[in-house]
Amino acid sequence: MCNNNAYRWYVIACCLLVCLLFFSCKKQADNSSSSRQYGTVTFTINWESIGVEYAEQNTLCYCFYPLNNGPMIQTESSTGTLKIALPPGKYGLLVYNSNNNTIKLRNRSQFDHAEAYFNIKEEDDASSSPLYGTIHHDLLVVADKHETITLTPTYFTKCVLFDIKLDEKDMGKIKGCKGVLTGVTPALHVSNRKMNRTSTTQLPIFLQKTSDGFEGKLFLWDGDTSQQVSHELILTFTLFDGQKMSSTLGIGPALFDIKKQDIRMKVNASVDSQSSAAQIQLRCDSITPELLSAK
């Protein structure tokens, strides 16, 4: 009987030892396998094309899209550098400044569907900041390998400055001015920079008074211009006596005639007091390229 008990305990001890050895080896194998399943990438940012002003202000959002249809991986950095470990494979990469109040991104779960859109109400200042970033279609991550990649962001938007000029006599009559630009493409597919032209919208222009008129800017998409849209500039002037006068200036597709350029549009406005009711006459004096986004 004693021999049977001893034998039984001997068998149990052997089984426990085998199980312990099995799970110990499995854990080591899992740890070894896990270490081989990731590669690391360090991203640094070259701000030369954007300017220090926006580099210091904004947080960058990094969206990694596995090309084998895995889920999107997202992280953020406000330091200008990012080190991340990723499973090996090829990725689409979208990087953009994420704390822009008037331009947002939607449909970000899929690389080809990510879309930037204007999130602007009438009372908002549409000139708060541009949208910029970078796109990579074939980022390669290799297991057990570290890569350092420098990203150079570019603008997804172009800046349009509206320079409204009045003569001294008319300036004395006008208290304020509000502007609206119609015919604006509401969204941009960021992966290929194509504009979504299924509809149009209008954007408010926040105009500030200057010594000889009013000045304001807004940001439009800097993308594919194969399908042109006609714009209209609507200005509403408020006189000191409380009277309001609106006038519309047809711009056509001129804002996209100069590709990859910011634009200064000079408009001459004059009060026509000869008619029975006072009116504002608008005339486009010039539309010229000018570096504005980085200012």
| Three-state SS letters, the chain | CHHHHHHHHHHHHHHHHHHHHHHHHHHHHHHHHHHHCCEEEEEEECCCCCCHHHHHHCCEEEEEEECCCCCCEEEEECCCEEEEEECCEEEEEEEEECCCCCEEEECCCCHHHCEEEECCCCCCCCCCCCCEEEEEEEEEECCCCEEEEEECCEECEEEEEEEEECCHHHHCCEEEEEEEEEEECCEEECCCCEEECCCCEEEEECCEEECCEEEEEEEEECCCCCCCCCEEEEEEEEECCCCEEEEEEEEECHHHCCCCCCEEEEEEEEEECCCCCCEEEEEEEEEEECCCCCC
| End residue of a domain, out of 155, 173, 192 | 155
Q: What is the pLDDT of residues 82-126, one digit of tens each?
A: 999 999 999 999 999 988 888 999 999 999 999 999 988 765 555
Determine the Cα–Cα distance for residues 22 and 267; give it in Å rounded to an integer. 81
* Sheet order of strands, 146-151 included: 81-86, 39-45, 146-151
Domain with residue 193: its CATH number is 2.60.40
Kindly tell me if the per-residue pLDDT of 47 is higher than 90. Answer: no
Whether residue 143 is found in the same domain as residue 202: no
Residues whose CB falls within 8 Å of the CB of residue 29, separated by 6 or more in sequence, listed in order: none
227 part of a folded domain: yes
| End residue of a domain, out of 126, 155, 184 | 155
15 part of a folded domain: no
Whether residue 262 is found in the same domain as residue 169: yes
Lowest mean pLDDT among 188-202, 220-234, 267-281: 267-281
Structural domain boundaries, residue 108: 39-155
Whether residue 71 is found in the same domain as residue 141: yes
Whether residue 174 is found in the same domain as residue 266: yes
165 part of a folded domain: yes
Kindly tell me if the per-residue pLDDT of 34 is higher than 60. Answer: no
Chain centre distance of CA 191: 11
Whether residue 142 is found in the same domain as residue 239: no
- Residue 195: closest CA among 174, 163, 223, 165: 223
Give the percent of the chain with pLDDT over 90.
Answer: 42
Whether residue 165 is found in the same domain as residue 280: yes
| End residue of a domain, out of 129, 155, 181 | 155
Q: What is the pLDDT of residues 123-180, one digit of tens each?
A: 555 556 789 999 999 999 999 999 999 999 989 998 899 999 998 888 888 899 999 9
Predicted TM-score (pTM) of the model is 0.79
Three-class HEC string of 106-134 = ECCCCHHHCEEEECCCCCCCCCCCCCEEE
Whether residue 251 is found in the same domain as residue 132: no
Determine the Cα–Cα distance for residues 65 and 50; give it in Å rounded to an integer. 25
Kindly tell me if the per-residue pLDDT of 5 is higher than 90. Answer: no
CB atoms under 10 Å from CB of 5, counted, come to 9
The pLDDT value given to residue 268: 92
17 part of a folded domain: no
Strands 263-272 and 157-165, bridge-based pairing: parallel
The pLDDT value given to residue 2: 47
For the chain, the domain total comes to 2
Whether residue 285 is found in the same domain as residue 161: yes
Query: Do the Cβ atoms of 175 and 239 come closer than 8 Å?
Result: yes
Domain with residue 130: its CATH number is 2.60.40.2100
